[in-house]
Chain A
Amino acid sequence: MKQDFKVLGTRPIRPDGLDKVTGKAMFGADKSVTGMLHARVLRSPHAHAEIVSIDTSKAEALAGVKAVITGDDFEDVDNRWTRYTMQNCMAQGRALYDGHAVAAVAAVSKKVAAEALALIEVTYKPLPHVTDVDEAMAPDAPVLHEGVKGRNLGDDVSGNTVGYYSFGHGDPETGFAEADEVIERTFKTAAVHQGYIEPQACLADLGADGRGELWCCTQGHYEVRRICAEILHMDASQLRVTASEIGGGFGGKTTVFIEPVALKLSQKAGRPVKLVMSREEVFRATGPTMSASMDVKIGMAKDGRITGAHARLRYQGGAFPYQMVMLGAMSAFAAYDLEHVQAEGWDVMTNRPKMISYRAPGAPMAVYAVESVVDELCQKLGLDPLDVRIMNAAREGSKSSYGPTFKAIGLVEALEAAKAHPHYSAPLAPNTGRGVSCGFWFNFGGQVSVSMAINADGTVNLIEGNPDIGGSRASISMMAAEALGIEFDRVRTIVGDTASVGFSDVTDGSRVTFAVGIATINAAKAAIKEMCKRAAMIWEIDEESVEWIDGAAHAVGHNAGTLPPMTLAEIAATSGKTGGPIAGHHEGAPDKAGVSFGVHLVDVEVDPETGFTAIKRYTAFQDVGKAIHPAYVEGQIQGGAVQGIGWALNEEYIYGEDGRLQNPGFLDYRIPVASDLPMIEPVIIEVPNPGHPYGVRGCGETAIVPPLAAVSNGVARAIGARLYALPMSPPKILKAL
């Protein structure tokens, strides 16, 4: 593996930064075109209702209204997962949750569109609903969709239970029998939203000739193209999707909520249509993450050895079938090397918006439950929580609780760094507790395309197909510069639209730096091979006698030293005469993304009078393999940690008896603000991933996993009582006191 980096590990300023600090960057809602209409969506006020009829005639008659659509405007599709997405964008026959779209309007202005919405008459017949996961799993629960129950499930659970997974090895009961202390607890965590500050927005233009243009904020414009082309029954080649700058996603923009609606309205009206969600719509109708109900039982010997562990995870993921609890069951005990372990999980539908990924989807809540029980055992047995974790930690060669045997991983290194850090030994103020938790995420590879052009002036253009959600254009340019041996500012990376570069999977699973990085390195290799060939031709020597070193072709072998090196710029300058433009490209599906572990330390102060919590100090340790741009890696760790703090303390989807969401706004759904927090100190650990030429693991997701338990464990130690549900709002803490 390469070690002596020139560009990697430095902190250049991102290429899109200037546009972003001067207000020039174009996000989803920032684009307008002439002749454009404005769209609005009408949403169900019911948690579950049959749509008896929709009368759109008055809306259609309003001056300035150019198109009105309902679920009837969408033809069926073959792929059932696409059908669910389509029916989530626009209800057909039944409204399945509060906020579910039932009709949409395109009009000459926002004002007319809003007026038209009020003229649409929908007759609903309310149906029984369920929003709680345990209630939805009970055999007598109202079932959202028939015929989708998991194949491996019996009559003890309702038809809302769409999946069952189990992972592990050994026999937990045997392990519990060996324990000196066994603790079993039940936990609940609320559904939380990704909370990206930019609401979903798009601009669609679908002409009578069947050609479509779509501009939208998304984590994956190829996925948007696939889903929309299937729903609109068009050829993928005819729909060009361009990703705008994206104002946050965190998993929430890996699918579509409005794009098919805007395209259909545009088709019907024959004009471009802009559709921008309000914040209320974002909360009511885009995907939050799952809420969970979980039982965890762990046995520990007096010396801290974990003898057996068992988790049962019940997740609710909203109104359509989905698969996600599996990742929770796989993550739950990943940090531990255990002989007897089992984690089971059930995916359950309810009358809530369809869930979508949120940073390390499925892992934070499972790890919260496990790390809480581990902490309670440490307290009970009088053991140091870091020592116990080090003793039981998964390491290279450990058989993971989800199957594979780990390669080189950095958990022990992170735990030891935490133990040695001054934070861990600092004295604690009164009413303050210090919490610890581990966290884990897999990281993924996936399909990717990169196209690189060497320009005649010695600069380089690179086109990739993954939207830049956290500075990836900078990281990709850095890897290209490193591979080619040139300066960072000679490379410009852009995100191509779906017509300009090959397919790329969505930006998810922390895969971009890893997968696009590999493709970039391979594209550079292809370009280097061509440049060496050109140099060999000019020098009139064998291609084999030319090597690429530090940005230049060098003659080696018996020609070594006889010819001065030929730089990239020199080769590029004559490329027109030596065989034409020089380029490199790579298409592939790299795997071997390395897993990433983190350990967080937090000091939480609890006011015994009010139950109010304050985060006083926070340190996050994470193995990232290799930090390409350390400042962005730090930013990912800090941002993830703060999202986890919000999950632990404040954030929550609150449903009333009527099944309606009670807090669809930032006032009542409170994400952390600047004054809630201290500085978040990131500590980067680099245990290289053997599956990547530069050792990269991917770093975006792990950091949201540990904070839930770390904060909860801190609260438990501050007040001497433990809470078993999130968020830990002041009234709940007061009750526990």
Chain B
Amino acid sequence: MSKIHVNATVNGDAVEFLCEPDEVLLDVLRDRLNLTGAKEGCGTGDCGACSVTLNGRLVASCLVLGAEVEGSAIETVEGIGTADALHPLQRHLLDHAALQCGICTPGIIVAAKALLAENPDPSEEEVRFWLAGNLCRCTGYDKIIRAVLSAAAEMRGDSA
């Protein structure tokens, strides 16, 4: 079977790649585009470590085919902030010591950013349910939830 030619944008940059018809977006990002920020924790849509957004919609990139993203805009953790211009979510996760091993962190950042785009003022419960698809084995979630809530407050301009 021959490969499929795809055009898309990743973090605002135009990309062009060839992929197998059955190759998932996660593998395309990691193996073909050298963007290893999205992680594979399960490959079956259960852990959220591979979270990216596709045209603004939060997806598990292990469940999306590379061939499907023709013409789409993809955002990964690498596009969210840089070392000298961190996104508030990234900064608050650091300030709250909300990462231990950090393998879940890229997925959490991508997912939480998608949440705040939809709901800038979520309750604790809303954050917990939104992030229920992002497994973290190290932290017990406590500090992650607090970090997301305080990042949201900062982004709203609350003086919290």
Report how many residues on chain A are interfacial, defined by Cβ distance under 8 Å.
61
Contact with B along A623-648 (1 / 0, CB 8 A): 00000010110111011111100000
Indicate if the CB atoms of B47 and A197 lie closer than 8 Å: yes
Decide: B97 and A21 in contact? CB cutoff 8 A. Answer: no
A21, B94: Cβ atoms under 8 Å?
yes
Which A16-34 residues have C-beta < 8 A from chain B?
16-18, 20-27, 29-30, 32
Is A245 interfacial (CB 8 A cutoff)? yes
Which B residues from 23 to 43 make CB contacts under 8 A with A? 27, 30-31, 35-43
Given A21-B105, A631-B96, A675-B129; A248-B138 close (CB under 8 Å): yes
Give the distance to chain B from A97, nearest Cβ to Cβ, in Å: 21
Q: CB-CB contacts of A237-263 with B at 8 A, as 1s and 0s?
A: 000000001111110000000000000
Q: Contact partner of B137 among A29, A279, A639, CB < 8 A?
A: A639
Given contact pairs A470-B138, A673-B135, A665 touches B42 in the complex (Cβ within 8 A): yes
Q: Is the CB of B43 within 8 A of A674?
A: no
Contact B83 A470 (CB under 8 A): no
Is A14's CB within 8 Å of the partner chain B? yes
Q: Which among B42, B46, B140 has the greatest number of chain A C-beta atoms within 10 A? A: B140
Q: Are A23 and B44 in contact (CB under 8 A)?
A: no
Q: How far is the CB of B47 from chain A (nearest CB, A)?
A: 6
Find chain B residues with CB under 8 A from A111 CB: 20
Among B27, B103, B140, B145, contact of A247 (Cβ-Cβ < 8 Å): B103
Q: B74 an interface residue at 8 Å Cβ cutoff?
A: no
A671 CB within 8 Å of chain B: yes
A638 and B143 CA atoms in complex are apart in Å by: 9
Complex contact A248–B141 (CB within 8 A): no
Q: Are B140 and A675 in contact (CB-based, < 8 A)?
A: no
Closest to A636 in B: B100
Decide: A674 and B105 in contact? CB cutoff 8 A: no
A199 within 8 A of B: yes
Q: Is the CB of A641 within 8 A of B140?
A: yes
Contacts of A279 in B (CB 8 A): 41-44, 46-47
CB pair B94 A196 closer than 8 Å? no
| Beta-carbon nearest neighbor of B1 in chain A | A111
- Report whether A13 and B137 are in contact in the complex, using a CB–CB cutoff of 8 Å: no
B44 close to A667 (CB less than 8 A): yes
Q: Does B18 contact A (CB under 8 A)?
A: no
Chain B contact surface mostly? loop
Most buried by B among A22, A197, A198, A671: A197
Of all chain A residues, the one with the shortest Cβ separation from B49 is: A197
B 71-102 contacts with A by CB, 8 A: 76-78, 80-83, 86, 90, 93-97, 99-102
Complex contact B140–A27 (CB within 8 A): no
Closest CB-CB distance, B36 to chain A, in whole Å? 4
- B136 on the A face (CB < 8 A): yes
Given contacts A21-B86, A30-B36, contact A674 B138 (CB under 8 A): no
Interface 1/0 per residue, A522-560 and B, CB below 8 Å: 000000000000000000000000000000000000000
A674 touches B131 (CB 8 A): yes
Q: Which residues of A contact B152 (CB under 8 A)?
A: none
Choose one: A14, A26, A249, A642; the contact of B36 (CB below 8 Å): A26
Partner of A199, one of B40, B137, B138: B40
Prevailing SS type, chain A contact patch: loop
Asked whether B127 is an interface residue with its Cβ less than 8 Å from the other chain, the reply is yes
Contact among B41, B46, B86, B144 with A198 in the assembled complex (CB-CB below 8 Å): B41
Which chain A positions have C-beta within 8 A of B133? 673
Taking CB atoms, residues of chain A closer than 8 Å to B136 are: 197, 674
Does residue A5 face the partner (Cβ distance < 8 Å to B)?
no
The residues of A that contact B129 with a CB separation of less than 8 Å are 674-675
Most chain A CB inside 10 Å of its own CB: which residue of B46, B76, B103, B134:
B103
| A469 interface neighbour in B35, B41, B78, B101, Cβ under 8 Å | B101
B140 pairs with A198, CB closer than 8 A: no
Per-position contact with B for A434-475: 1 when CB-CB < 8 Å, else 0? Answer: 000000000000000000000000000000000001110000
Separation of A527 and B115 alpha carbons in the complex (Å): 50
Flag whether A710 is at the interface (Cβ < 8 A).
no
B67 within 8 A of A: no
**Minimum CB distance partner of B36 in chain A:** A30
Contact between B97 and A22, CB atoms less than 8 A apart: no
Q: List the A side residues contacting B20 at CB < 8 Å.
A: 111
Please determine whether B49 and A680 come into contact, CB atoms closer than 8 angstroms.
Answer: no
Q: Report if A674-B97 is in contact (Cβ < 8 Å); known contacts: A22-B82, A470-B138, A635-B139.
A: no
A656 to B136, CA, bound (A): 29
Interface residues of B in 106-139 (CB under 8 A from A): 106, 109, 125, 127-129, 131-139
- Does A677 lie at the interface of the complex (its beta carbon under 8 Å from any beta carbon of B)? yes
Q: Any chain B CB within 8 A of the CB of A666?
A: yes
- Is there contact, CB below 8 Å, between A677 and B103? no
Tell yes or no: B158 within 8 A of A by CB. no
A672 to B105, CA, bound (A): 17
Closest to B44 in A: A665
Can you sample 28 A-B contacts with CB below 8 Å?
A: A13-B95, A14-B97, A17-B102, A18-B86, A21-B94, A22-B37, A23-B36, A23-B78, A111-B20, A197-B39, A197-B49, A197-B104, A199-B40, A248-B100, A248-B101, A248-B137, A276-B40, A279-B44, A469-B101, A634-B97, A635-B97, A641-B140, A665-B44, A666-B135, A671-B137, A674-B129, A675-B125, A677-B142
Please give 4 more A-B residue pairs, beta carbons under 8 A apart, in addition to A197-B136, A671-B137. A14-B97, A198-B103, A279-B44, A667-B44
> Across chains A and B, which 4 residue pairs bring their CB atoms closest together, nearest first?
A23-B37, A247-B103, A20-B102, A642-B140
